[in-house]
Amino acid sequence: MPAMETPEGYRPLDEAGVREFLAGLPAIASRLGGQSAGWTMSEVGDGNLNVVYLVDGPDGSVCVKQSLPYVRVAGESWPLPLERTFFENAYYRHHGAALAGLVPEVYHYEPALFAIVMERLSPHIILRRGLIAGSIYPTMAQTIGAYVARASYGTSDLALSLDDKFAGVAEFAANNALRRITAELIFTHPYRVTDRNRWTSPQLDDLALAIRSDAELKAAAAWRGHQFLTNAQALIHGDLHTGSIMVTADDTRVIDPEFAIYGPIGFDLGALLANLLMSYFSQPGHETRAGERREQSEWLLAQVPVFWNAFADTFTALWKQGNSGDAYPAVMLAGDASSDIALERLLAELFDDMLGFAGAKTMRRIFGFAHNADFELIADNDRRAACERRAVTLARRFLVEPGSFRTAADIVAAAREAAQA
């Protein structure tokens, strides 16, 4: 196969390349300390797309993330433009101080290499790994709910003039390679035959076939896909699953915003909801004795209202400070009940969107290309399929009848019911 074409100046960094690159950045070299030859490094990328190095020197550490010209887990058979780290850096820059302490600090972006040098989060681990291991994280759901509210409100028409908001839309409009991955892998592929799909077979063959001939489900998924493409509500993370969150017992950080676009706020909400619930449904598959994960499972369900309420309360508090943008302007809504009515309607719409997107995001992890370690690490196919089947039952309800859920408590009740099957 001929070598892939890349822009002049780009080279994929191996360990020696990372060392040379960082040694040429005085502020980074000084942060690490000592001689570059003594820095230790390891490649730790466990996402689907990029390479990630952790670099330690005598005085400090950094993390280096670089785009490859292809999908890392698929290789050169799936080419992908390099610009994703550009958009990741742009997301951090765009939100700026609003997300300080909730994301890694970015130290340097190197445009020619499509590489970001940022804070090494330590002793943080990937949330999904912690959940699979059976851990709980007391402040995580509250933090992420408030994060989504702050990030989305602050980049929406509620806070920004339409001029500023559409300047942001224009900047992120070019992130089409990743937008396409989402449009296809989440909203299209699970519902049609493609050789990128896979599922636990033969156990779920019946379901894989059923969802391709379920007219109500396909119409709902296609509608959510259209919403994803057309509803530029705010600058969203675009891939806010439990693999994009790093945690300690009391700190929570959001990473990997390379899928950032102006999109529906409910897409980020739905990502976390779906992944909390997939973790919940996967727990029996990780038990080495019956009931071992009961406490953690209850905690996971309890995070659903914590997460939604943190989002809704923070969003409400921001709204009540007075909308200064071109949508729902405070100057128009002040003095009567219109502000409260409008806010209640908007939150209800976002709740509905959260459910629909959560449904779509669950289906893709069970029938599409990219699966979740929550289920994948259940070695026994029969046990895994039983867990996945329960998740699919709830996901279908989210997609087809989101209106039957009014509150976060309704979600919890439906998850319990699906888990009994």
Would you tell me which residues interact with Mg ion (CB under 5 A)? 47, 256
State the binding partner of 127 from Mg ion, ligand SR1, none, CB within 5 to 8 A by kind. Answer: none
- Tell me, letter by letter, the H, E, C secondary structure of 200-268: CCCCCHHHHHHHHCCHHHHHHHHHHHHHHHHCCCEEECCCCCHHHEEECCCCEEECCHHHCEEECHHHH
Of residues 39-58, those binding ligand SR1 (CB under 6 A): 47-49
* Window of 10-18, 179-187, 281-289, 407-415 that interacts with ligand SR1 by CB under 6 A: 179-187
Q: Which residues pair with 393 in a beta bridge?
A: none
DSSP state of 170: H
Lookup: tokens for 329: 């302007």
Instruction: Select from 55-63, 177-185, 206-214, 228-236 the region that touches ligand SR1 (CB under 6 A).
Output: 177-185
Shortest separation between residue 73's beta carbon and Mg ion, angstroms:
11
Tokens of 25: 């950045």
Choice between 182 and 282, CB closer to Mg ion: 182
Please tell me what DSSP assigns to residue 354: H
181 near ligand SR1, rule: CB under 6 A: yes
By beta-carbon proximity to Mg ion, the closer residue of 71 and 411 is 71
Per rule CB under 6 A, count of chain residues that contact ligand SR1: 10
Closer to ligand SR1 by CB, 186 or 355: give it. 186
Residue 278 binds ligand SR1, judged by CB under 6 A: no
d(CA 169, CA 176): 12
CA 251 to centroid of chain Cα atoms: 18
Position among 71, 144, 158, 277 found at the interface with ligand SR1 (CB under 6 A): 71
309 lines the binding site for ligand SR1 (CB under 6 A):
no
Of residues 190 and 243, the one with the C-beta less far from Mg ion: 243
We find the least distance from the C-beta atom of residue 361 to ligand SR1, in angstroms, to be 8
In terms of CB distance, is 47 or 263 closer to ligand SR1? Answer: 47
Is residue 370 within the footprint of ligand SR1 (CB under 6 A)? Answer: yes
Structure tokens, 57:
């020197």
Which sign, positive or negative, has the C-alpha torsion 325, 331, 335, 338?
Answer: negative
DSSP category for residue 3: P
Query: CB of residue 48 vs ligand SR1: minimum separation in angstroms?
Result: 4
The string of DSSP letters for 67-128 reads --SEETTTEEEEE--TTHHHHHHHHHHHHGGGGTTTSPPEEEEETTTTEEEEEPP-S-EEHH
The nearest distance, CB 358 to ligand SR1, in angstroms, is: 14
* Residue 370 interacts with which of ligand SR1, Mg ion, none, CB < 5 to 8 Å by class: ligand SR1
Q: How far is CA 331 from the centre of its chain?
A: 35
Residues that bind ligand SR1 (CB under 6 A): 47-49, 71, 181-182, 185, 239, 369-370
